[in-house]
Amino acid sequence: MRAKRWAVRILMALSLFSACLLLLCGCKEPAVEKPLKLPEDIRSRRKNVPKPKRTAVPAPADAPLKNDSSTNTREGATSKTMSTPAVLFPTPRVVEPITIYAKDMTADNGQEDGNGGWILWSNGATQIDNVKINFPAREIGLEVKGDPALSIWPEVDLNMYNRTTKTNYYPWGIRQYVTTSTYELLTKTINPSMMPGEYLITFRYYNNAVGGEIKADRNAYLRKIVIKP
């Protein structure tokens, strides 16, 4: 009887000791693992998620226009695109030379020579006034010929007076001998060029003479004056 009582007391003491241990150490519940999602749950959730709206992406402001040619697509269809207009540049204006014919000038002696020119048979000049030159003149041409006498050729010069700027020009600088018996175009480059303006143009003959065994007569001929830009 006494042995049973001791056994009961020992069991109660062990129970109390176990309860104290639980209180001192704490009682943590084991973590519960969540089950994996089933495929049915994933599909149903995807159906309920709203789809994002698609917005058109604007083309860049500096995107070049496409040409008007048709291009083949992968499906075999054709599509037309806009064409770029061609840029037109103005055609440069061509400046034509000015040609003055001696027959249209005023002379103080001589006559037409039958070949489109004018013969000055004594000292004198032929000239033309109010010639409008609208460009800087860089080259002057004289179509002339001469008759020598006493082994000397006719001596001439060309004077161009700009009434607009009140400037005198002598393209050949000093008097020039005409040493050809057939018409030739003699040219002279002007540097600096003659300014545009309204001109009085004079062709002058200086050394007329008659003499020699065959009574040669020295004469100067002018057919035309050419003024080039």
Q: What percent of the chain has pLDDT over 90?
A: 53
Higher pLDDT: 93 or 220? It is 220
- As a dihedral over the C-alpha atoms of residue 127, residue 128, residue 129, residue 132, rounded to 10 degrees, the angle is -130
- Helix extents (H) in 173-224: none
Residue 150: closest CA among 219, 220, 210, 205? 210
Q: What is the pLDDT of residues 151-174, one digit of tens each?
A: 999 999 999 999 999 999 999 888
- Domain holding 105, by residue range, is 98-228
Query: What pLDDT is stored for residue 174 in this prediction?
Result: 83
Domains in the chain: how many in total?
1
Q: Which CATH number belongs to the domain containing residue 127 in this structure?
A: 2.60.120.260
Residue 77 has pLDDT above 70, yes or no: no
Q: Considering the domain boundaries, does residue 186 fall inside one?
A: yes
Spatial separation of the C-alpha atoms in residues 176 and 21, rounded to whole Å: 142
Q: What is the pLDDT of residues 79-115, one digit of tens each?
A: 556 667 777 767 777 889 999 999 999 999 999 999 9
Q: Considering the domain boundaries, does residue 110 fall inside one?
A: yes
Q: Considering the domain boundaries, does residue 34 fall inside one?
A: no
Instruction: Please report the DSSP string for 40-99 in residue order.
Output: HHHHHHHHHSPPPPP-PPPPPTTPPPPPS--EE-TTS-EE--PPPPPPPPPPPPPPPPEE
Measured over the CA atoms of residue 18, residue 23, residue 25 and residue 26, the dihedral's sign is: positive
- Does the pTM surpass 0.85? The reply is no
Higher pLDDT: 112 or 70? It is 112
Return the DSSP state at 220: E
